[in-house]
C-alpha cells in the first residue's frame, strides 16, 4: 500500500465507542473531514460504564450534546461503602458544581452512545461507517493509508492525514505499532449482572465490603440495576455462571424469599480488572485514546471519564494542526499532558479496590474499625464526602506558560519563611511551598449573566476556541499588533466579568470585548486567589497561562511559540 492517492479524510477514527464518537463530534465542530470506523454493524447495546463525572459532562456540553444526554443521567449519584454488618463506613457525596455540573452521575451508556452517534449527523463532513473493520495501515510523511474490510467481505483502501485508535483495550492498532502496554491484570474476576425492572429500587451505589463475597449494587437510570460479584481464584467462569450458582449469588442481594428466577436479566458477563497504560500515545501520525491508551479497575468509575478527557485534549489539537493553525509540536503536548493523569487515576482505582475487597477477614475488621474512628474526624469525613481524593488533571508540561510573579505584599510571615529557608538547618525542616497557581488546571464554569439578561454557563459564552477571561479589566489597551494577530489566528474571544450591576457600563471596555455579569461571584473569588487578572483559556477549558494586564503580550508570544502558531493561517482559511 505504498501508492499515494487523494486524501479521503483529514482524520480517521478507529472505534465507535464513546471516546471515538466524542472525538468525531469535536472534529466535526471544528470543520475537520472525519471518518469514524466501527467493526460492528451496530453500537454495543448493553451497559458497560455506569458513572459520568462533571468533567465529562462539560466535554459533552462543549460539543453541543449536553441537553440530549441529560435525560439519560441521574445526577448527584452517591457511592457508599458498607461493611458486612451493614454499616456505611464511607460515603462519597460531592455536592460541588465548580465545573458547571454534578460531580457524580449515573448514566445509561448505550443511550448516551446513540446520542453521540446521532450528533454526527449535524456535520456533512463527518461520516460514520459501521460494519467497517480496519485490517491494516501504513503511514508515511504525509498521511496514513488504511486497508478496511466491510461486513460483506469486500475491501476498500482509504487515506487520511491522521489516524486515531480508540479501538479498545486489545487495540489492534496499538499492537501493530508494537507499543508496550505495561501494568498488571488482577488475579480475581468479577461477575456482572444487569437486570431490568429494578427489584430493589434504592438509589445510589453500594459497595458491600463483605470479605466472604464482596459485591456491588448500582442503581442506573430507566429502572436498571447492576450487581457485581467477586469470583475467587478457585472458582471457574463456567462454574459461577451455572443457573444454580447464579441463583445463590442473587439470593444474597435480594430480600428473603424472593425467587431470583423472577428477575428480568439483560446480561451476565465475567470480566477481569486490568491496570495498564501504553508506553507511548503517539507514533508519528497515529495516536491512541481511551482504552487503547489505558485501562483501569472500575472502583472509581473513571475508565470512561479518563477516555473522554483524552478526547477533550486531543480533538482541538488535531483540528488546529490539520487547519495549519499550529505545527505538529502541538500534538506532542498530548503525550506530555495526558498520560501522567491517566496513571494517577489508575493508581486511585487500584487503591480503592484494595480497600473495598480485602480477602482477609482480619484486614477487613481493621479497616472497619479504622473507618469507624475516622468518621468522627470532620476533616477526614469531608475529604471523602467531597471527593477531594480524586486527582484533578494538572498539566505541568505541554501547552502551559508559567511566569514568576512577585507578590505585591508577601506579608511578614512569608518574608520570615523566605529567610528561614535560606538557613542551613531550618531550610531542610521547612515545608516546600506548593505552587498554587491555576495554570495547567481546569478553569471553573460558573453561571454568568449576559447583557440581554440571560443566565448561562460560562462555556456557552466562551465559544469553541481560545478565550481571554478577565476580571474587571479589558486587556485591549495593552495588546500590541502581534498579540492581536495571535488572537485572530486563534479565533479567541475576550470576555470580561464584572459585578452584575456594572455589566451595562462601557467605560474602559473596547468593542471587541464581551462583558458578562459574575452571577455567583465565583469569578471574582477565583481571580482573587490568583496572581493575575487575565487567564488564557484553551478550547478544552484548561488554563494555558495567567498574568496581569501589563504582561499579556509576553504571555501570548510564549504561548504562540509553544504551539508553533501560524499567524497567516487565518488569512489563508
Measured CA to CA, the distance from residue 318 to residue 336 in angstroms comes to 15
pLDDT at residue 385, rounded to an integer: 43
pLDDT at residue 267, rounded to an integer: 87
Please state, as a whole number, how many other Cβ atoms lie within 10 Å of the Cβ of residue 290: 29
pLDDT at residue 302, rounded to an integer: 78
Phi, psi of 202, rounded to the nearest 5 degrees:
-75, 140
CB 483 within 8 A of CB 555: no
Closest Cα partner for 497 from 465, 537, 437?
537
Measured CA to CA, the distance from residue 360 to residue 63 in angstroms comes to 47
306: CB partners within 8 A, 6+ apart: 294, 296, 341, 342, 345
pLDDT at residue 423, rounded to an integer: 53
Q: What is the SS3 assignment for 447?
A: strand
Which burial class, exposed, middle or buried, applies to 70 when counting CB atoms under 10 A from its CB (0-12, 13-18, 19+)? middle
Q: Where are the beta strands (DSSP E) in 389-528?
A: 447-449, 455-457, 467-471, 493-498, 513-517
Q: Give the predicted TM-score (pTM) of the model.
A: 0.88
Please state, as a whole number, how many other Cβ atoms lie within 10 Å of the Cβ of residue 67: 10
pLDDT at residue 233, rounded to an integer: 78
CA atoms within 13 A on the CB side of 15: 27
DSSP designation for 478: T
CB 189 within 8 A of CB 62: no
pLDDT at residue 368, rounded to an integer: 54
Measured CA to CA, the distance from residue 401 to residue 339 in angstroms comes to 19
Per-residue pLDDT reduced to its tens digit, 228-277: 998 887 888 888 888 888 899 998 889 988 889 899 999 888 888 788 99
pLDDT at residue 10, rounded to an integer: 98
Give the residue ranges of the chain where pLDDT is below 70: 1-5, 187, 298-301, 352-391, 404-436, 569-573
DSSP designation for 544: E
pLDDT at residue 539, rounded to an integer: 97
CB 19 within 8 A of CB 281: no
Measured CA to CA, the distance from residue 32 to residue 10 in angstroms comes to 6
Reply yes or no on domain 447-572 having CATH 3.40.30.10.
yes
pLDDT at residue 431, rounded to an integer: 47
- CATH code given to domain 9-72+105-180+275-356: 3.50.50.60
**Lookup: cell for 461:** 459564552
pLDDT at residue 433, rounded to an integer: 44
Give the residue range(s) of CATH 3.50.50.60 domains in the chain: 9-72+105-180+275-356
Measured CA to CA, the distance from residue 195 to residue 223 in angstroms comes to 9
Phi, psi of 154, rounded to the nearest 5 degrees:
-75, 160
CB 179 within 8 A of CB 270: no
Residue 23 to residues 16, 110, 118, 164, 320: CA-CA distances in angstroms?
10, 17, 14, 9, 14
| Three-point CA angle 267, 273, 278, nearest 5° | 120
335: CB partners within 8 A, 6+ apart: 280, 281, 282
Q: What is the SS3 assignment for 104?
A: strand
pLDDT at residue 482, rounded to an integer: 96
Measured CA to CA, the distance from residue 189 to residue 563 in angstroms comes to 44
Closest Cα partner for 342 from 395, 402, 385, 398?
395
Measured CA to CA, the distance from residue 327 to residue 210 in angstroms comes to 54
**Lookup: cell for 47:** 451497559
Give the residue range(s) of CATH 3.40.30.10 domains in the chain: 447-572
pLDDT at residue 224, rounded to an integer: 94
Measured CA to CA, the distance from residue 474 to residue 479 in angstroms comes to 10
pLDDT at residue 301, rounded to an integer: 63
pLDDT at residue 359, rounded to an integer: 57
Amino acid at each position: 500500500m505504498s501508492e499515494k492517492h487523494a486524501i479521503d479524510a483529514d482524520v480517521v477514527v478507529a472505534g465507535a465507542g464513546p471516546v471515538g464518537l466524542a472525538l468525531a463530534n469535536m472534529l466535526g465542530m471544528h470543520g475537520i473531514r472525519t471518518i469514524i470506523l466501527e467493526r460492528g454493524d451496530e453500537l454495543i447495546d448493553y451497559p458497560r460504564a455506569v458513572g459520568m463525572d462533571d468533567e465529562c459532562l462539560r466535554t459533552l456540553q462543549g460539543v453541543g450534546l449536553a441537553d440530549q444526554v441529560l435525560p439519560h443521567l441521574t445526577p448527584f449519584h452517591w457511592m457508599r461503602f458498607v461493611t458486612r454488618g451493614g454499616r456505611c463506613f464511607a460515603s462519597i457525596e460531592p455536592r460541588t458544581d465548580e465545573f458547571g455540573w454534578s460531580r457524580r452521575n449515573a448514566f445509561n451508556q448505550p443511550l448516551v452512545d446513540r446520542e453521540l452517534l446521532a450528533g454526527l449527523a449535524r456535520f456533512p463532513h463527518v461520516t460514520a461507517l459501521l460494519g467497517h473493520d480496519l485490517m491494516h495501515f501504513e503511514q508515511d510523511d504525509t498521511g496514513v493509508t488504511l486497508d478496511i474490510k466491510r461486513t460483506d467481505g469486500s475491501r476498500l483502501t482509504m487515506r487520511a492525514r491522521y489516524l486515531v485508535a480508540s479501538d479498545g483495550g486489545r487495540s489492534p492498532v496499538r499492537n501493530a505499532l508494537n507499543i508496550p502496554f505495561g501494568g498488571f491484570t488482577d488475579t480475581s474476576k468479577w461477575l456482572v449482572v444487569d437486570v431490568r425492572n429494578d427489584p430493589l429500587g434504592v438509589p445510589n451505589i453500594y459497595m458491600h465490603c463483605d470479605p466472604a463475597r464482596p459485591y456491588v449494587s448500582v442503581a442506573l437510570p430507566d429502572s436498571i440495576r447492576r450487581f457485581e460479584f467477586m469470583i475467587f481464584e478457585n472458582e471457574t467462569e463456567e462454574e459461577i455462571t451455572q443457573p444454580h450458582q447464579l441463583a445463590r449469588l442473587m439470593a444474597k442481594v435480594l430480600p428473603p424469599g424472593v425467587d431470583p428466577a423472577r428477575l428480568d436479566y439483560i446480561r451476565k458477563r465475567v470480566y477481569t480488572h486490568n491496570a495498564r497504560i501504553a508506553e507511548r500515545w503517539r507514533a508519528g501520525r497515529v495516536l491512541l485514546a481511551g482504552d487503547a491508551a489505558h485501562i483501569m479497575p472500575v472502583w472509581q468509575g473513571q475508565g470512561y471519564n479518563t477516555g473522554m478527557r483524552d478526547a477533550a485534549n486531543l480533538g482541538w489539537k488535531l483540528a488546529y494542526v490539520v487547519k495549519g493553525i499550529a505545527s505538529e509540536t502541538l500534538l506532542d503536548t498530548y503525550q506530555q499532558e495526558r498520560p501522567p493523569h491517566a496513571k494517577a487515576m489508575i493508581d486511585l482505582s487500584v487503591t480503592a479496590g484494595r480497600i473495598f475487597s480485602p480477602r482477609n477477614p482480619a484486614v477487613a475488621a481493621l479497616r472497619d474499625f479504622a473507618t469507624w474512628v475516622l468518621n468522627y474526624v470532620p476533616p477526614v469525613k469531608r475529604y471523602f464526602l467531597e471527593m477531594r481524593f480524586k486527582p484533578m488533571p494538572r498539566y505541568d508540561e505541554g501547552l502551559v506558560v508559567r511566569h514568576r510573579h512577585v507578590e505585591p505584599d508577601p506579608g511578614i510571615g512569608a518574608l520570615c519563611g523566605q529567610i528561614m529557608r535560606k538557613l542551613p538547618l531550618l531550610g531542610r525542616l521547612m515545608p516546600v511551598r506548593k505552587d498554587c497557581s491555576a495554570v495547567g488546571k481546569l478553569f471553573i464554569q460558573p453561571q454568568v449573566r449576559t447583557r440581554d439578561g440571560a443566565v448561562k454557563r460560562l462555556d456557552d459564552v466562551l465559544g469553541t476556541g481560545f478565550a481571554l477571561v478577565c476580571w474587571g479589566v479589558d486587556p485591549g489597551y495593552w495588546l500590541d499588533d502581534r498579540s492581536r494577530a495571535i488572537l485572530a489566528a486563534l479565533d479567541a474571544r475576550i470576555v470580561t466579568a464584572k459585578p452584575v450591576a456594572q455589566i451595562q457600563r462601557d467605560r474602559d471596555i473596547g468593542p471587541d470585548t464581551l462583558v458578562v455579569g459574575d452571577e455567583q461571584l465565583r469569578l471574582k473569588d477565583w481571580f482573587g486567589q490568583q496572581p493575575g487578572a487575565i487567564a488564557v483559556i484553551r478550547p478544552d477549558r484548561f488554563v494555558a497561562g495567567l498574568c496581569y494586564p501589563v504582561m499579556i503580550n509576553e504571555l501570548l508570544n510564549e504561548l504562540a511559540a509553544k504551539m508553533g502558531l501560524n499567524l497567516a493561517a487565518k488569512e489563508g482559511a
